[in-house]
A = this chain, B = another copy of it.
Amino acid sequence: MPVSAASTQPPVYDVVGVGNALVDVISHADDGFIHQYELVKGSMTLIDTERAIYLYKALGSAVEMSGGSAANTMTGVASFGGRAAYIGKVSDDELGNVFGHDLRAVGVQFRPGAPADDTPTGRCIIVVTPDAERTMNTYLGVSSLLCPADIDQATVAAGKVLYMEGYLYDRPEAKEAFRLAASVAHAHGRQVSLTLSDSFCVDRHRDDFRSLVTDEVDILFGNSDELLSLYQVESLDEAVARVQRDCHLAVITVGAKGCYIVSRNDVLTAPAEDVDQVLDTTGAGDLFAAGFLYGYTRDLPLDECAKLGAIAAAEVISHVGPRPLVELRSLLS
């Protein structure tokens, strides 16, 4: 846990997100499709242009909706009534315009970074199976070109909490951008949060993630698989004990079983919300983080933050698509 200087300015934003700016291409298919096209069910796999074209051709009719993990989270924060900004890279093409529109439309300040020619806006081909599980195949496009120059430092400095997605932590320039954003945030007395994003993602960059968590991260989000992968242990109790030493605060979701809230002196548990019918789990973790951070930036008790997270996650898994369809503030009693 880093030590932050006190900020001299009141924050303009509750949360500033940084992530891969993606438009989701959502289609339904059965497990036969998953096997036939050798997809990794329930995970996120990076794909190249050729594979993206091949998969899209095989895909049934689809719906296009703005996505991107941290971007989904920022729309959730805004939907609760919070002030959110987002840094991520899109191209000046139709999907880039769609992505920017859908952030601004819900009141998220969008900082798209510098344009890059000839590389299209990234997209994520999501296959939803009848069990509501989503399998993601991401063509990163221009989103992966995020570099330190794309980090709007004034925006980062103006957010109470910086929220970054592990997905982004892949190319050297993006890692630099990541570290820069964290150092700007801390220099202004802000907090830095990270979501581990995906267990394969953790697997590829385990050492980097561990040093990030120890050196830079104040609040860690992840699910149980990701935490087990981070510490390469088989027992969640052991992983929780490890993260308690490394991190000021960690919030670990365990699907329908709720979450652990791991702080220096305490390990709390909080339940998930009941959902009548789970239709598409896309965005569950993103929206959980949104609710939690909305509460956290309002200094609510940690169990209430988790409750807000659970409410937001329940909303997003009850319909197709990674962002709320109702104003989340309307779900608060």
Q: Which residue of B lies closest to A321 (CB)?
A: B63
- Taking the closest CB of chain B, its distance from the CB of A124, in whole angstroms, is 14
- Taking the closest CB of chain B, its distance from the CB of A333, in whole angstroms, is 22
Interface membership of A66, Cβ < 8 A = yes
When the two chains form their complex, are residues A64 and B61 in contact, meaning their CB atoms are under 8 A apart?
Answer: no
Write out the residue numbers on chain B whose beta carbons fall within 8 Å of the beta carbon of A56: 101
Interface centre among A61, A105, A323 (most CB of B within 10 A): A61
Interface membership of A75, Cβ < 8 A = yes
- Taking the closest CB of chain B, its distance from the CB of A110, in whole angstroms, is 12
Interface membership of A65, Cβ < 8 A = yes
Interface membership of A106, Cβ < 8 A = yes
- Taking the closest CB of chain B, its distance from the CB of A59, in whole angstroms, is 6
Which residue of B57, B63, B93 is within 8 Å of A64 (Cβ)?
B63
Write out the residue numbers on chain B whose beta carbons fall within 8 Å of the beta carbon of A64: 63-65, 98
When the two chains form their complex, are residues B94 and A57 in contact, meaning their CB atoms are under 8 A apart?
Answer: no
- Taking the closest CB of chain B, its distance from the CB of A140, in whole angstroms, is 16
Contact A101:B321 (CB < 8 A) given known A64-B65, A93-B94, A94-B95: no
Interface membership of A60, Cβ < 8 A = yes
A 24-67 contacts with B by CB, 8 A: 27-28, 56-57, 59-66
Contact A105:B61 (CB < 8 A) given known A94-B120, A95-B94, A120-B94: yes
Interface membership of A102, Cβ < 8 A = yes
When the two chains form their complex, are residues A61 and B94 in contact, meaning their CB atoms are under 8 A apart?
Answer: no
When the two chains form their complex, are residues B61 and A66 in contact, meaning their CB atoms are under 8 A apart?
Answer: yes
When the two chains form their complex, are residues B60 and A105 in contact, meaning their CB atoms are under 8 A apart?
Answer: yes
Interface residues on A, range: 20 to 34
Write out the residue numbers on chain B whose beta carbons fall within 8 Å of the beta carbon of A28: 325
When the two chains form their complex, are residues A57 and B101 in contact, meaning their CB atoms are under 8 A apart?
Answer: yes
Interface centre among A57, A98, A325 (most CB of B within 10 A): A98
Q: How far is the CA of A250 from the CA of B321 in the complex (A)?
A: 40
Interface centre among A56, A101, A106 (most CB of B within 10 A): A101
A 118-143 contacts with B by CB, 8 A: 120
A 69-106 contacts with B by CB, 8 A: 75, 93-95, 98, 101-102, 105-106
Write out the residue numbers on chain B whose beta carbons fall within 8 Å of the beta carbon of A59: 101, 105
When the two chains form their complex, are residues A61 and B93 in contact, meaning their CB atoms are under 8 A apart?
Answer: no
Q: How far is the CA of A193 from the CA of B64 in the complex (A)?
A: 32
Write out the residue numbers on chain B whose beta carbons fall within 8 Å of the beta carbon of A62: 98, 101-102, 105
Contact A65:B66 (CB < 8 A) given known A57-B101, A101-B56, A101-B57: no
Q: Add 16 more A-B contacts to A62-B102, A62-B105 (CB < 8 A).
A: A57-B101, A60-B105, A60-B106, A61-B66, A61-B102, A61-B106, A61-B323, A63-B63, A63-B64, A63-B65, A64-B64, A64-B98, A93-B93, A93-B94, A94-B94, A94-B120
Residues of A participating in the B interface, judged by any CB pair closer than 8 Å: 27-28, 56-57, 59-66, 75, 93-95, 98, 101-102, 105-106, 120, 321, 323, 325
Q: Could you write out 10 A-B pairs with CB less than 8 Å apart?
A: A28-B325, A56-B101, A57-B101, A59-B101, A60-B106, A61-B75, A61-B101, A63-B63, A63-B321, A94-B94
